[in-house]
Amino acid sequence: MSSVLTSREEGELLLVRLRVESRHLEEVLEALADLPFPVNPDLQHVGLHSVVEFPAYEHRLAAVQEALKPFELSVETRRMMDAIRAQ
């Protein structure tokens, strides 16, 4: 049985988190907008950095990492269910 948090084709739903220098935020958001699936990021600004979070299925992480390669960002992930429980 699949649910909103899992998909046989796409794997488990994850929360993707990026820490971006604010001066690169617009370029990173443009790269995410070019992905072959919709990204609706949540933005938080902390000093000179911005935290970008959005849900993505685990089988789409390779596309996310490829899109972010020019920025040399590390992509952090955690299970969406864990993120929901932590709130």
What is the distance between the alpha carbons of residues 79 and 5, in angstroms, rounded to a whole number? Answer: 9
Cβ atoms of residues 11 and 57 within 8 Å:
yes
The fold of the 6-86 domain, in CATH, is Alpha-Beta Plaits (3.30.70)
Kindly provide the residue ranges of all beta strands, DSSP E only, lying in 4-79, ordered along the sequence. 6-7, 11-21, 42-46, 49-57, 76-79
Domain locations in the chain? 6-86
Please, what is the end-to-end C-alpha distance for the chain in angstroms? Answer: 26
Kindly report, residue by residue over 16-64, the tens digit of the pLDDT. 999 999 999 999 999 999 999 999 999 999 999 999 999 999 999 999 9
Q: How confident is the model at residue 6 (pLDDT cuts 50, 70, 90)?
A: low
